[in-house]
Amino acid sequence: MRRSRRQAAGRRKDEGASRKVPQLPWTVVRNPYPAMDIAGPDDVEAIHDASMRVLEETGINILLGEARDILRDSGVAVTPGETRVRFDRGFIEEAVARAPRQWTLHARNPARNRVMGGNHINFFPVAGNPNVSDLEGGRRAGNLADYRDLLRLAQVINAVHGCTPMLEPVEVDPDIRYLDIVGEQLFLTDKIAFGYSLGRRKIRDAIDMVRIARGISEAVLLDEPSIWTVVNCNSPLQLDVPMLHGMIEMARHNQVIVVTPFTLAGAMAPVTIAGALTQQNAEALAAIAFCQTVRPGTPVVYGGFTSNVDMKSGSPAFGTPEYVKAVLLGGQMARHYALPYRSSIVNAANWPDAQATYESAMSLWATVQGHTNMVMHSFGWMEGGLSASFEKIAIDLEMVQTMIKALEPVDFSEPELAVDAIADVGPGGHFFGTRHTLERYETAFYEPILSDWRNFETWKSDGAIDTTRRATRVWRQLLDEYETPDMDPGIAEELTAFIRRRKQEGGATADD
Amino acid sequence: MRRSRRQAAGRRKDEGASRKVPQLPWTVVRNPYPAMDIAGPDDVEAIHDASMRVLEETGINILLGEARDILRDSGVAVTPGETRVRFDRGFIEEAVARAPRQWTLHARNPARNRVMGGNHINFFPVAGNPNVSDLEGGRRAGNLADYRDLLRLAQVINAVHGCTPMLEPVEVDPDIRYLDIVGEQLFLTDKIAFGYSLGRRKIRDAIDMVRIARGISEAVLLDEPSIWTVVNCNSPLQLDVPMLHGMIEMARHNQVIVVTPFTLAGAMAPVTIAGALTQQNAEALAAIAFCQTVRPGTPVVYGGFTSNVDMKSGSPAFGTPEYVKAVLLGGQMARHYALPYRSSIVNAANWPDAQATYESAMSLWATVQGHTNMVMHSFGWMEGGLSASFEKIAIDLEMVQTMIKALEPVDFSEPELAVDAIADVGPGGHFFGTRHTLERYETAFYEPILSDWRNFETWKSDGAIDTTRRATRVWRQLLDEYETPDMDPGIAEELTAFIRRRKQEGGATADD
pLDDT, residue B394, reads 98
Interface of B with A in 194-253 (CB under 8 A): 234, 236-238
Contact at CB, B313 and A453, closer than 8 angstroms: yes
- Cα(B419)–Cα(A58) distance, rounded to whole angstroms? 9
A391-410 residue pLDDT tens: 999 999 999 999 999 999 99
B427 touches chain A (CB under 8 A): yes
The half-sphere exposure of A309 on its side-chain side, counting CA atoms within 13 A, is: 22
Q: Is B351 on the interface with A (CB under 8 A)?
A: yes
Spell out which residues of chain A touch residue B325, defining contact as CB-CB under 8 Å.
Answer: 406, 410
CB contact under 8 A, B282 and A422: yes
Q: Let me know how many helices (H) and strands (E) chain B has, helices first.
A: 20, 18
Contact list, A324 vs chain B (CB under 8 Å)? 402, 406
pLDDT in tens, A51-86: 999 999 999 999 999 999 999 999 999 999 999 999
Residue A84 near chain B (CB below 8 Å):
yes
What pLDDT was estimated at residue B17? 53
Please enumerate in sequence order all residues whose Cβ is within 8 A of that of B430, keeping only pairs 6 or more positions apart, or say none.
A236, A267, A268
Query: Rounded to a whole number, what is the distance in Å from the CA of A96 to chain B's nearest CA?
Result: 21
Geometric angle at alpha carbon A283, from A280 and A286, rounded to 5°: 140
Residue A18: Cβ within 10 Å count: 14
**pLDDT at res. A5:** 41
Whether A83 contacts A62, CB under 8 Å? yes
pLDDT tens by residue, B216-256: 999 999 999 999 999 998 999 999 999 999 999 999 999 99
Q: Where are the alpha helices (DSSP H) in A407-506?
A: 414-417, 419-425, 435-438, 441-444, 456-461, 467-481, 489-504
Binding-face residues of B in 242-301 toward A, CB within 8 A? 265-276, 278-279, 282
A102 interfacial to chain B (CB closer than 8 Å): no
Of A397, A400, A390, A492, the C-alpha closest to A167 is A390
Q: What pLDDT does A343 receive? A: 98
- Which pLDDT does position B5 carry in this prediction? 41
Alpha-carbon gap, residue A285 to A512, rounded angstroms? 27
pLDDT at residue A15, as a whole number: 43
| Alpha carbons A36 and A280: distance in angstroms, whole number | 20
CA atoms of A291 and A96, how far apart (whole Å): 9
For residue A184, give the 3-state DSSP assignment: helix
A416 and B272 within 8 Å at the Cβ level: the answer is yes
Within 8 A of B371 by CB-CB distance, chain A residues are none
The stretches in chain B having pLDDT less than 70 are: 1-17
Q: Which of A 5-44 lie inside 8 A of B, CB atoms?
A: 33-34, 36-39, 42-43
Nearest to B430 by CA among A2, A323, A269, A63: A269
What pLDDT does residue A311 have?
Answer: 80
- Interface residue of A401, A445, A467, A472 to substitute, partner B, most B CBs within 10 Å: A445
- Name residues 444-503 of chain B within 8 A of A (Cβ): 444-446, 448, 450-456, 459-460, 464, 466-468, 471
Which of A140, A283, A451, A462 should we substitute to test contact with B (largest number of B Cβ atoms within 10 Å)?
A451
What's residue B313's pLDDT? 83
- The answer to whether B133 and B387 are in contact (CB under 8 A) is yes
Interface of B with A in 354-383 (CB under 8 A): 354-359, 361-362, 365, 369, 383
**B350: nearest CB among A274, A312, A452:** A452
- Residue B293, CB half-sphere, CA atoms under 13 Å: how many? 22
Q: Is A138 an 8 Å CB contact of chain B?
A: no
List strand residue ranges (DSSP E) for B152-260, in order.
Answer: 193-194, 227-231, 238-239, 256-259
Residues paired with residue B415 on neighbouring β-strands, in sequence order: none
How far CA A391 is from CA of A245, A319, A352, A472, B380, in Å, comes to: 37, 19, 7, 5, 25
List of long-range contacts for B204-211, beta carbons under 8 Å, 24+ apart: B204/B249, B205/B178, B205/B179, B205/B498, B205/B502, B205/B508, B206/B178, B206/B182, B207/B249, B207/B250, B207/B253, B207/B255, B208/B498, B209/B179, B209/B182, B209/B183, B209/B495, B209/B498, B209/B499, B210/B108, B210/B182, B210/B186
Low-confidence ranges of chain A (pLDDT < 70): 1-17
- Total H helices, total E strands in chain A: 20, 18
Q: What's the pLDDT score for residue B13?
A: 43
